[in-house]
Every structure is written in structure tokens, then in C-alpha cells.
Structure 1
């Protein structure tokens, strides 16, 4: 199976959240993860990257997939970061569907999927 380096946008150290479960399952299936969000902490040995007052977020240029766990109303502040990262695809998990961001991604040649990362991993469609 090919390793698909996955940026988890909306990562959290809270084990009751779907973003945490995605990090766990991606790690268990040997996909490299890059957790990014507003929460501090770590998930599965990776520090959650977050913006600080004096430091911008690192733009990763080797990301296969961004899986979104940020609600639509909080997404606009992430648009530039997502589009500059330029992944091969973005997975819009339930509750994150955003026609505006989907259009911007498609215009850059980024594949858009409205799906659930956990279901995709469980069914071998990832």
C-alpha cells in the first residue's frame, strides 16, 4: 500500500474527536500524518502544528491529502494555507462541505472528495 502523507486540518489531542480517530487510523495504516490546528499538544508522536504570534505555519509541499476537520465558518482563514500546500486531494469530511473552497481547489487542479476519511480507511478506499 502506498503511503499517502496526510495533513489533518483541525487536529486535536482529544480522543473523542473524529480528527483524533483519523490520526490514529492513518498512523495504524502507516500513512505519515501532519497534524495542524489551533489546539496545542500532540497526536501519535507528532506535535500539532499551529500558528503563533511570531511564526507562520510551515507550508508542506509533499502532502498527498488534506483531510478537513474544520467547520465551514472557520475555513476562510485557512484558504491560503490549504491552497499553498497544494495537495493532490482534499477530503471534505461530513460537516466541512464548502462549495467556495471546493471551487478554489478545483481551479488549482486539486482533487476534491466529499467523503469520510474514517469510512474510506475502513473500506480500503483511501
Structure 2
């Protein structure tokens, strides 16, 4: 699938924002991949628990605190997404700088707000 969104920090817990984001992304018929600590499923999206070499990732949307993001820097850069969205609480200027150095856009925004205002 082309132009996929990868949700990192995905959870099967319906109260988590990552879970809500997956549902809203799918509700807009967007292609979604998910990576979390545990395998699971949200709607028709499988949550993987290992860093797979996904292809055609357009957007990575983060639901990981900055300290946990460090282990994902090289992985996310290797996916060559067009952009990375830092949701509230995930802001990380060190990672923003690394992304810029690798010609990857970053956005400090809320995926749910972007979707609800047709700015996604």
C-alpha cells in the first residue's frame, strides 16, 4: 500500500490516544501500520511488536515519550518517511534536528486535531 501512516506507540487500550488515532485514520480510509510494545489488533490494523522494514511510509505519528524515542531514531530515519508527527507529550527537539538533517519533515501537532480539521 502506498502512503501509509505508521503509528508508533500503538496500544489495544481503547482509552489510549494511539488507539483512537488508529480508528480515526482508518475511518478516513487511510492505510495504517502500527508498532507497539505488544502484539494486538485495532479494527483491521495489526499491531506489530518488532521494528519491521515497512515500505511506503509517508507519515510516522509518535505516541512515545522522548526518552523512549531514542531507541527508534535510526529505525524511523531508515523508513524514509515524508514527515514525523510529534503528538502532545512527545515533543523532542533532538529528534527534530536529526530528522531535519535527514531531509524528513517534522510537525509538532496532534494527529487527532489534524484529522478533525482536514489538515492531515
TM tier, smaller:
over 0.9
Match of 1:41 in 2: 40
Partners of 1:58 and 1:14 lie apart in 2 by: 22
Could you list the structure 1 runs, at least 4 aligned residues long, displaced by more than 4 angstroms after superposition. Answer: none
Give the number of equivalent residue pairs. Answer: 119
CA deviation string 1:66-101 (max 9, x = no partner): 000001111111111111111000000000000111
Is 1:61 paired with 2:55?
yes
Partners of 1:26 and 1:4 lie apart in 2 by: 12
Structure 1 residue 45 displacement after superposition? 1.6
Higher strand proportion:
2
Asked if the contact 2:3/2:56 (under 8 Å) is kept, the reply is no
Partners of 2:3 and 2:89 lie apart in 1 by: 23
Asked if the contact 2:36/2:48 (under 8 Å) is kept, the reply is yes
Match of 2:92 in 1: 98
Q: Structure 1, unaligned stretches of length 5 or more?
A: 52-56
Q: Structure 2, unaligned stretches of length 5 or more?
A: none
Partners of 2:6 and 2:70 lie apart in 1 by: 17
Q: Alpha carbon RMSD of aligned pairs, Å?
A: 1.1
| Equivalent runs, 1:58-97 vs 2, <5 Å | 58-97=52-91
* 3-state SS of 2:91 partner: coil
* 3-state SS of 2:67 partner: helix
Structure 1 residue 61 displacement after superposition? 2.6
Asked if the contact 1:35/1:43 (under 8 Å) is kept, the reply is no
